[in-house]
Amino acid sequence: MADDLERAILLAYDPDAAVDPAVKSQAIAFCDCARREPPSSLLCLCLERLPRVPLPDPVRFWLLSALHEAVLSLPPSELPFFLSSLPALASCLSSSPPFIKNKLSQCLSTVITLHYPHSWPSPFVDLLPRLADGPHAVDMFLRLLSSLDDDLLSQDYPRDAAATAAASRVKDAMRMQCVPQIARAWFDVITLYRASEPSLSASALDVARRYIPWIDIGLVANDVFLQLLFELVESSEEQLRSAAAACLLAIVAKRMDPRPKLALLRSLQFNRLFSRQDSGCSLAHLITGYAVEALECYKRLGSDNVDGSSALELLDEALPSVFYVMQTCQEVDSGNIVEFLSSYVSAMKTPTQKQLVYIGQVLEVVKDQMLYDPAYRSNLDLPDKIGKEEEDEMAESRKDLFALFRSVSRVAPDVTQLFMQNLLARAVQSAEMNVEEVEAALSLFYRFGETVSDEAMRTGSGLLGELVPMLLSARFSCHSHRIVALVYLDTITRYMKFVHENTQYIPFALSAFLDERGIHHPHLSVSQRASYLFMRAVKLLKSKLVPFVEQILQSLQDTVARFTTLDWTSKQLKTSGSEDGSHTFEAIGLLIGMEDISPEKQSEYLVALLTPLLQQVDSLIADSKLQKIEESSPRIASVQQTIMAINALSKGFSERLVTTGRPAIGNMFKQTLGVLLQILVVFPNNVPLRNKVTSFLHRMVDILGASILPFLPMALKQLLMDSEPKEMADFLVLINQLISKFNISIAGILGDIFPTIVSRVFQLLPSDAFSFDPGYNTEEVRELQELQRVLYTFLHVMATHDLSSVLLTPTCREYLNSIIELLLITSCNHKDILVRKQCVQIFVRLIKDWCKKYSGEDKLPGFRNFIIETFATRCCLNSVLDKSFEFRDANTLLLFVEIVGAQKVMYDMFGDEFAVHFVSKGLPAAHCPQDLAEQYYRKLQQDNDTKALRSFYQSLIEKLRQQQNGSFVFR
């Protein structure tokens, strides 16, 4: 049986054996069957076979694994047999590979976990004398202690309640019985083998490190043991040096009350390490760990007592070495560095002169940690995948660094200003500062602006009055690099409020935006960013730029000309196509659109800008009449950019100036609009072009006022042709703007196009227009949902701008029933509560517009009866009774307010004609008790007390729901 088992193990688990899969499966099944033997039988089998020599390693490992399973269920009565076999077992396995010895130590650790101290009272006492047998015995003992820590004692891993209790039992027993002897054994092993077998000494140090958190600290933090550890941290043997440093760190980090901890730190005399800068990196974690604990003591003890002062002295003593390792050692985790420094800065609420020096060093650490790796310099300049990943990672890691920088700025503003002065001066004056250093300096100065008050920013208090001019005139040797140029532009924009108040620096700011540092930078992405930021600067400075308009326009002449002189057959469009010029033209528009510019100059500038742009459009239109121009043609793309440029240009002009102050300017824009509207006729199916013209039309509505009305019929007719859902939604947005702007003045135009609008929308939307299956979240469905949403907004805008009469015109009337039915269904059960609220508001306006008060001839015969008999019951009662109407939802409560308000309006308009029908037919149909219906009627009659009606009606609905046990569902 035993020989068969060994053969089966080799067939199943020997990685070097070439075995037929069927045979291997049989072998595995045979081994599994053997494992299912009773624990006593399995124990005997393993303890009998393991000492045999020779025995292949796979067999030994399998037997040890089986032994491990057996001891888990081992009754105490079998324990003596197991223990008696241990010496022979340990001896025969002493020269085995590490994985075999680790498995044996795991078995022993399991037995200790289960049986120590009650059934096996002295495992450690029994094993300690055997350490004299030599390195193999020492190695096995250390492996046992490591296994016990891994499996049970360590608090680094989550444990269940049973394991936690077992760990406490074992630790308590060890403390009572043998921990001092074990600590002495560590010392002896480390001392004995440090020269002959340093790896064994390192293992003993590692075990000591594991056990220090829960043993008496005096067993290791004593003169003899500490002397040994300090000798080893200066050893030439890296393995010993690292292990000893980790052991010292465990001593330093031991959890204790602050005063005993302070005494411990003081007793360690770490100054012997701080004086050795040459070993700084190898001891980086130890030095920073010591500083962290000293800082924690200071924070817990406070600064107003002797102990707190003592803790601060220890910290001050450690900080120079801490800064050294932080700035020179790659091994130190940057996250831990920032966390420690943040804690330090926040603790120094009123720093002394010495601490201010240290805080200055904190700023140096922040700057150093921010530096990009020079290896990625080219990747960042012409950003590829690697460069973009590096930027993303740096942006993430800088979040904590910038937070630390802001903390330093609050605690030590003068130190921060002086640091920024030196850093910026170095960046400006030194030709040797590289890309990464300049970028970090500018990034910090940008963040420094976040810490400065608006008042200080405007006045340039402190050193700002010196630093900002220095920045504006700076020309770095590495300014051509993308990341330097971008952060430079962002930084000067941050300080533009200073320029606003100190206008003598405007020429410097303009140069920075307009020369090769900005819009004329060779990098397209920098040029684009400069255009955007320049536009923002123009918005801020505005009238202060009037004396510089000529100079600015001259500087931008080549940039503007680029949009009218492109060679259609060249690749120029491809290289510059992503820059649409809109920010540049918007900035120009803001400049020349000011009333401070004389009318003559304003007209001159505008003609000079519009003429070449419109010539480009005219040329395209003329050529298209002679030959077909493909939609993907570069000329089409260029005209799209042209329209965007004209649109952006117009943003600088106000309606008052264009229509009243200087009508000549208005005429130019009307002529421009006339030219651009031809595009809709010539290219009716080019959606991108249509979208650009529509966007321009929006803008012209804002500035041309009523003078745009003659242009609308043709424009709207063209935009309505063959509109798809997205274009139709955009068209309705335009109509909403026109209605909001012109109110009743647009009634005639709206009446002409309304039938086309409604028929097209109803054709595009599904018949079940208020519901889309959430499972179909496609682009097409999203466009239809958006069209539906804008349709309700369109009807709402019509109703609330006195245009409901359009619905009653002969051409629109045939769609009226469909619209009313749609509004009714939507007001009752659309999934979007805010859309339902819109529909209720539409009905309220239609009631007021179309119905006479109490009696008389209504504008729409039958509408009054529809409202009283259908809308009031289905929307104001049944839909509210439905379980989907959730009063705890804020939007639903807003809808409820509108529904109750609608009832009040119906009573005000129709009187008892509404009230009697609702009380005698609507409420009884919902099984409302008579007394509650009468109370509702009385509340309805109370003038100007809608709040009381709302409160009562909510309680009424909740009572009716309870009465129906939630069974009522509106359909």
For residue 335, give both structure tokens. 């996250």
Gyration radius from the chain CA atoms? 42
Average pLDDT over residues 6-27: 84
Q: In what helix (H) or strand (E) does residue 917 lie, and over which residues does it extend?
A: helix 912-917
pLDDT in tens, 473-489: 999 989 999 999 999 99
Residues 6+ apart with CB under 8 A from 762: 769, 815, 818
Q: In what helix (H) or strand (E) does residue 770 lie, and over which residues does it extend?
A: none
Higher pLDDT, 70 or 767: 70
- Whose tokens are 């003078």? That residue is 707
Question: Distance between CA atoms of 837 and 817, rounded to whole angstroms?
Answer: 20
Residues 6+ apart with CB under 8 A from 714: 677
Instruction: Report pLDDT for 173.
Output: 96
Instruction: Report pLDDT for 280.
Output: 56
For residue 772, pLDDT over 70 is answered with no
Instruction: Report pLDDT for 728.
Output: 94
Average pLDDT over residues 231-248: 92
Which of 49-52's residues contact partners 24+ apart within 8 Å by CB, and which partners? 49/2, 49/5, 49/6, 50/89, 50/92, 50/93, 51/88, 51/89, 51/92
Distances (CA, A) of 942 to 548, 589, 936, 946: 67, 58, 10, 8
- Whose tokens are 């010496």? That residue is 87
CA 340 to chain centre: 24
Q: In what helix (H) or strand (E) does residue 330 lie, and over which residues does it extend?
A: none
Question: Distance between CA atoms of 360 and 408, rounded to whole angstroms?
Answer: 9
- Model confidence at 240, in pLDDT bands (50, 70, 90)? very high
Instruction: Report pLDDT for 577.
Output: 41
Average pLDDT over residues 958-963: 87
- Model confidence at 770, in pLDDT bands (50, 70, 90)? low
- Model confidence at 279, in pLDDT bands (50, 70, 90)? low
Question: Distance between CA atoms of 943 and 584, rounded to whole angstroms?
Answer: 59
pLDDT in tens, 214-237: 999 999 999 999 999 999 998 889
pLDDT in tens, 177-207: 999 999 999 999 999 999 999 999 999 999 9
- Model confidence at 635, in pLDDT bands (50, 70, 90)? confident
Q: At residue 389, what is the residue type?
A: E
Average pLDDT over residues 118-136: 92
pLDDT in tens, 857-890: 889 999 999 999 999 999 999 999 998 899 999 9
Give the CA-trace dihedral at 329, 335, 337, 340, to 10 degrees. Answer: -160
For residue 970, give both structure tokens. 């509106």
For residue 496, give both structure tokens. 């533009």
Question: Distance between CA atoms of 125 and 838, rounded to whole angstroms?
Answer: 84
Percent of the chain residues topping a pLDDT of 70: 95
Average pLDDT over residues 238-246: 93
Instruction: Report pLDDT for 572.
Output: 45
Are 738 and 775 in contact, with CB atoms under 8 Å apart?
A: no
Indicate the burial class of 848 (C-beta count within 10 angstroms; 0-12, 13-18, 19 or more). middle
CA 455 to chain centre: 32
Instruction: Report pLDDT for 158.
Output: 87
For residue 929, pLDDT over 60 is answered with yes
For residue 153, give both structure tokens. 């004692």
CA 157 to chain centre: 30
**Least confident stretch, 363-372, 575-584, 814-823:** 575-584
Q: In what helix (H) or strand (E) does residue 672 lie, and over which residues does it extend?
A: helix 663-682
Average pLDDT over residues 110-119: 92
**Least confident stretch, 93-102, 383-392, 442-451, 891-900:** 93-102
**Least confident stretch, 16-25, 461-470, 768-777, 948-957:** 768-777
Indicate the burial class of 477 (C-beta count within 10 angstroms; 0-12, 13-18, 19 or more). middle
Question: Distance between CA atoms of 467 and 498, rounded to whole angstroms?
Answer: 11
Distances (CA, A) of 721 to 239, 370, 690, 712: 81, 57, 11, 14
Higher pLDDT, 652 or 279: 652
Average pLDDT over residues 674-700: 92
For residue 335, pLDDT over 90 is answered with no
Nearest CA among 67, 54, 66 for reference residue 93: 54
Looking at every residue in the chain, the average pLDDT score rounds to 90
Largest CA distance in the chain: 117
Average pLDDT over residues 571-589: 68
Question: Distance between CA atoms of 325 and 277, rounded to whole angstroms?
Answer: 9
Q: Alpha helix locations (H) across 93-237?
A: 98-115, 123-127, 135-148, 161-177, 179-193, 198-211, 223-233
pLDDT in tens, 141-154: 999 999 999 999 99
For residue 313, give both structure tokens. 């002295």
Indicate the burial class of 625 (C-beta count within 10 angstroms; 0-12, 13-18, 19 or more). exposed
Are 813 and 754 in contact, with CB atoms under 8 Å apart?
A: no
Nearest CA among 448, 485, 520, 514 for reference residue 506: 514
Instruction: Report pLDDT for 353.
Output: 92
Are 869 and 917 in contact, with CB atoms under 8 Å apart?
A: yes
Instruction: Report pLDDT for 915.
Output: 93
Are 244 and 235 in contact, with CB atoms under 8 Å apart?
A: yes
Instruction: Report pLDDT for 579.
Output: 47
For residue 777, pLDDT over 90 is answered with no
663-682 and 634-650 helices, crossing angle to 10°: 150
For residue 805, pLDDT over 50 is answered with yes
- Ramachandran bin of 75, using left for φ above 0, alpha for ψ from -120 to 50, beta for the remaining angles: beta
Q: How many CB atoms lie within 10 A of CB 245?
A: 24
- Model confidence at 732, in pLDDT bands (50, 70, 90)? very high
- Model confidence at 774, in pLDDT bands (50, 70, 90)? low
pLDDT in tens, 365-393: 999 999 999 999 999 999 999 999 999 99
For residue 418, pLDDT over 60 is answered with yes
Percent of the chain residues topping a pLDDT of 90: 70
Average pLDDT over residues 830-847: 95
For residue 965, pLDDT over 60 is answered with no
pLDDT in tens, 642-674: 999 999 999 999 999 999 999 999 999 999 999
Residues in the chain: 971
- Ramachandran bin of 581, using left for φ above 0, alpha for ψ from -120 to 50, beta for the remaining angles: left
Higher pLDDT, 728 or 85: 728
What is the three-class DSSP state of 36? coil
